[in-house]
Amino acid sequence: MFVSASLLSAHPLSLGAEIQRVETACDQFHWDIMDGHFVPNMSFGPGVIQKARSVTQKPFDVHLMVQDAQKVAPLFWDLPIQTLSFHPNCCPDPQGLIQGIQNRSLQAGMAVDLSSDFQNWPDQWWHCCAVALVMGVVPGFSGQAFSDQALVTASWLKKKFPHLTIVVDGGVEPGNVGLIQQSGAEGVVSGSYLFAASEPMKAYQALKKSSVKKNEDGF
């Protein structure tokens, strides 16, 4: 189970220092891109991500929470990132966007809200994607409680599309990470749990230990 640290929970005035503080306590960094329309909040632009690459060599995954992903994605897909995920309900041509992302040698992902009708999305979209980003909270704000609906979603997706890397985003902590892993997820996005910790490495190790223990115990 890999852990992606959500920089939405980092102190915005000390972003570089925050990245360095948790660099050894995560496997990659997660960037939530918000435009104030799809969700009532705003966050990072492409320039910030470009500059952040000088601080760490850990993989970057970008999550577009924007009203027009088709228009915004090109601002990010030439950056030094590894994965670019979007919400297909905010995109006029999801298949075309997936192809555009892949043409930049990036992993394409689709994000699933708690209220998404993802079971009705064309199978072809999923067959072309590498990642399913399953939301465990309502997109837009950190520090929310985890919804068990994410477990149902992750399980359904993994059974139908076993090639997908399932990543659960939001509300992750040691008490639920084992159940998340059992649902079929290979990764989690953790924000406030990591960044609020006085010792991020201990928080990271707790997530790792909990996922392994639940997996070995089988419950």
Catalytic machinery residues: 32, 169
For residue 135, the cross-strand partners are 169
Q: Other CB atoms closer than 10 Å to residue 168's CB: what's the count?
A: 32
User: Could you tell me whether strands 83-86 and 187-190 are parallel, antiparallel, or unpaired per DSSP bridges?
Assistant: unpaired
26 near 3, Cβ under 8 Å? yes
What is the Cα gyration radius of the chain? 16
185 near 154, Cβ under 8 Å? yes
Q: How far apart are CA 28 and CA 189, in angstroms?
A: 9
Q: How far apart are CA 29 and CA 6, in angstroms?
A: 6
Q: Which of 180, 160, 178 is nearest to 170 (CA)?
A: 180
- E-state strands within 26-162: 28-34, 60-65, 83-86, 107-112, 131-135
181 near 151, Cβ under 8 Å? no
1 near 208, Cβ under 8 Å? yes
